[in-house]
């Protein structure tokens, strides 16, 4: 009796990284490096072309430069964030500190200063993709409702499995980094979380960020919640200590 034929396993779906930069050398070298690491890549040389493509056919993550013709990286990020929570890393020069702060305030997940090593960029990409894919750790069943994965804290409801956030029943769109920071705060209401603790919650061990990065994400979190509730004040600043979440 002949053995039934078996189908070969389906090839793994490659994650796609979009690169947006007017420097053809960077597009070519980074694209080759990412493909060697198993990623698929798409490249765009200006912000206007990239915006339409990122919205019509979203990749898993985008990396783009700030200084570009037609539409610079900051305006691209601004318009993208109005319609998408796509993870974004942006590239900046070492002397462009105001652009770094503005990019984080607009909702970038991370930034890397030029000149950069491809190894560092790939590590940052992998770190952000891991954060968006890791199964969430259960925070306990007390006051979380019937679904143990859903976090309910007063007027806040978070569903880590679906990456959904509601405030008074109204949806709030968060990036991966913003979601993880809020989750760390909401998991223990009233407990002060230092900036280092929030960094640990939102970033992997192989990624270093400074205080300004966390502060920028907190500011953007508040702005997003105040867009649906002008009186939002659940994220409190404890000067010199960190931040806490109150569900009162």
| pLDDT attached to residue 94 | 55
Quote the CA–CA distance of 240 and 45 in Å, as a whole number.
43
Q: Do 22 and 120 belong to one domain?
A: yes
- The answer to whether the bond into 115 is cis (omega within 30° of 0) is yes
- Domain membership flag for residue 123: yes
Residues with Cβ within 8 Å of 170's Cβ and at least 6 positions away in sequence, in order, are 228, 229
Which residues span the domain enclosing 178?
Answer: 151-245
Q: pLDDT tens, position by position, for the chain (248 residues)?
A: 555 555 555 445 689 999 999 888 989 999 999 999 999 999 999 889 999 999 999 999 999 888 887 888 889 988 998 888 899 998 877 555 566 667 777 778 888 877 778 888 888 888 888 776 644 433 333 343 444 478 899 999 998 877 789 999 998 888 778 888 999 999 888 999 998 888 877 765 555 556 677 888 888 899 889 999 999 999 999 888 899 999 76
Cβ neighbourhood burial of 178 (10 Å; 0-12, 13-18, 19+)? buried
| pLDDT attached to residue 135 | 42
| pLDDT attached to residue 145 | 41
CATH code of the domain in which 42 resides: 3.40.50.2300
- Domain membership flag for residue 37: yes
- Domain membership flag for residue 139: no
Q: Do 41 and 69 belong to one domain?
A: yes
Q: Do 90 and 189 belong to one domain?
A: no
- Domain membership flag for residue 93: yes
Q: Do 118 and 164 belong to one domain?
A: no
Q: Do 122 and 48 belong to one domain?
A: yes
Q: Do 117 and 217 belong to one domain?
A: no
| pLDDT attached to residue 12 | 58
Q: Do 113 and 20 belong to one domain?
A: yes
| pLDDT attached to residue 42 | 95
Quote the CA–CA distance of 34 and 41 in Å, as a whole number.
7
Q: Do 121 and 23 belong to one domain?
A: yes
- Domain membership flag for residue 9: no
Q: Do 129 and 155 belong to one domain?
A: no
| pLDDT attached to residue 156 | 94
């Amino acid at each position: 009796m002949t053995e039934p034929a078996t189908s070969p396993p389906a090839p793994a779906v490659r994650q796609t990284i979009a690169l947006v930069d007017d420097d053809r050398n960077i597009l070519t070298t980074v694209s080759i490096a990412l493909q060697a690491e198993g990623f698929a890549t798409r490249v765009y040389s200006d912000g206007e072309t990239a915006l339409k493509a990122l919205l019509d056919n979203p990749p898993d993550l985008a990396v783009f430069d700030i200084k570009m013709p037609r539409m610079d990286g900051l305006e691209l990020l601004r318009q993208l964030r109005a319609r998408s929570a796509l993870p974004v890393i942006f590239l900046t020069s070492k002397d462009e500190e105001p652009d770094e702060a503005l990019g984080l305030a607009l909702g970038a997940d991370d930034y890397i200063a030029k000149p950069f090593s491809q190894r560092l960029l790939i590590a940052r990409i992998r770190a952000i993709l891991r954060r968006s894919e890791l199964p969430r750790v259960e925070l306990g069943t007390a006051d979380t409702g019937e679904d143990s994965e859903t976090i309910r804290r007063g007027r806040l409801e978070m569903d880590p499995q679906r990456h959904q956030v509601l405030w008074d029943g109204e949806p709030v769109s968060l990036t991966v980094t913003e979601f993880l920071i809020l989750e760390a705060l909401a998991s223990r209401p009233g407990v002060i979380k230092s900036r280092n603790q929030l960094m640990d919650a939102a970033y992997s061990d192989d990624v270093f960020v400074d205080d300004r990065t966390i502060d920028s994400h907190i500011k953007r979190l508040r702005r997003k919640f105040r867009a649906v509730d002008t009186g939002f004040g659940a994220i409190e600043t404890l000067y010199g200590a960190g931040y806490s979440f109150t569900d009162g």
